[in-house]
A and B are shown apart, each in its own frame.
Chain A
Amino acid sequence: MATLQQTKSSNTNGKVTKGRQKIQIKKLENESSRQVTFSKRRNGLFKKASELCVLCGADIGIIVFSPKGKPFCFGHPDIDAILRRFLSEDPLGSTSTGSVVPCFKEFKDGCQEALDKLEVEKKRIKEIEKENEEKKRNGQFWWDDPIDNNMGIEELEAYAKATEELRNNVASRANELMGNVFTTAATTTMTIPGGLGNGFPVQNGGFGVGESSGYGNFGLGIEGFNFGHGHDLDY
């Protein structure tokens, strides 16, 4: 049933996991594996139990103790009802059904609603991920490919300059439209309408990082947005 396979799960940020592996059913040696396995399997177990309850109308009680001795339980309708029924040998659970039956329909509907909502969210996730995969394959996101470390210092510095210019342009554009949301450093490209044009235009005399001439807006506006915060770049 379990097979060894390499799977690159699309929602684990590129982490490659080993996939399903068949394991022997005997006590795990590694203590932290035991804890991790316990958490995972406990969740899966309760999920399966809940499915059994919904699908087949069963009443279930499960108690498991963690490796540290803490008790975890699952009960349907609830663990107390199961305890009463089992321990007092009240086979029909008549004492509990009295309180459950009237709201059973509501409960079931509520469950169904919640489950449907869950399905919708899960589907949405799959959709978006699929779209992204598509785009990646079409080469639309080449910058996400592993860095080839071929960008030399000069290239990087040029890139940094261009990006800084861009930052300033974006900031002033934002100020234009929304009024004083950013402080800006003085640059000479402010007069260029629209984009940066071709290539990486080099600034005369570099940036006055932290300077702001003619832009009297010192309010940061955006929390954590450190404009003009010295970058210590050595040009």
Chain B
Amino acid sequence: MARNRVKLAYIANDAARKASYNKRKKGLLKKVNELSTLCGVDACAVIYSSTCNSQPEAWPSTAAAYRMLSDFKTLPAAEQSNRAMTQESLIKQQIAKAEEGLKKVHEENRRMELTQIMFQILDGRGLNTVKKEDLIDLSMLIEQNLKGIDIRLQMLNESYVL
């Protein structure tokens, strides 16, 4: 299986696009099927290709899709739109997730950096070499560590008593 990363943009080359469409459509419908079966839920999909505009492909069947879509349409508007996803909302979601992940990694990085400084100071590095901006974060880290040491000491003391 080719594992080259495809750029997420409209495939200009007709043949390539058609091939991709067929492959992905097949895969997508397979996934819908799996979701429906694994979770024991109703699902339907309707796909219009960019070329043959008239006949959509429907899963599980045109009739079933028709029924489900019509039923869906009768639901109150709020029900319909509450959990509706579009391209835009999907991407926004993905961006938010990536940003959060990045934030976490930044924080971890910061923690590592400060811990390193802390041990360097304990080992003899001068406090005057520490940047002003780092001092406050450093003291928070120290405070956290102290609490951790306390807890550990308490545990040890308790187990001695026992």
A: which residues have CB within 8 A of B?
11, 23, 25-28, 34-35, 37-38, 41-42, 44-67, 70-79, 82-83, 85-87, 91-93, 108, 110-112, 114-115, 117-118, 121-122, 124-125, 128-129, 131-132, 135, 140-141, 143-144, 151-153, 156-157, 159-160, 162-164, 166-167, 169-171, 173-174, 177-178, 181-182, 193-198, 222, 225-226, 231-234
Contact = CB atoms under 8 A, between A and B. Distances in A.
B39 A38 contact: yes
Contacts of A118: 91, 94-95, 98
A42 B90 CA distance: 12
A62 B45 contact: yes
Interface string B121-162: 110111110101001101110110110011011001100100
A75 B157 CA distance: 61
Given A79-B84, A92-B53, A141-B116, A166 B142 contact: yes
B21 A63 contact: no
Listed from nearest, the 10 A-B pairs whose CB atoms lie closest are: A57-B50, A194-B126, A91-B54, A56-B21, A121-B98, A59-B48, A64-B43, A174-B135, A27-B40, A38-B39
A114 B105 contact: no
B65 A86 contact: yes
Nearest to B40: A27
Contacts of A198: 124
Most-contacted residue by chain B among A64, A143, A182 (CB, 10 A): A64
A124 B102 contact: yes
Contacts of A65: 41-43
A60 B40 CA distance: 22
Contacts of A114: 91-92, 95
A45 B35 contact: yes
A225 B139 contact: yes
A215 to B, nearest CB: 15
A67 B84 contact: no
B46 to A, nearest CB: 4
A202 B105 CA distance: 37
Main secondary structure of the interface of A (DSSP, over half): helix
Contacts of A72: 83-85
B116 A164 contact: no
Given A11-B101, A28-B39, A173-B127, A87 B66 contact: yes
Contacts of B149: 156, 159-160, 163
A125 to B, nearest CB: 5
Given A67-B39, A195-B125, A132 B90 contact: no
Contacts of B108: 132
B55 interface: yes
A76 B10 contact: no
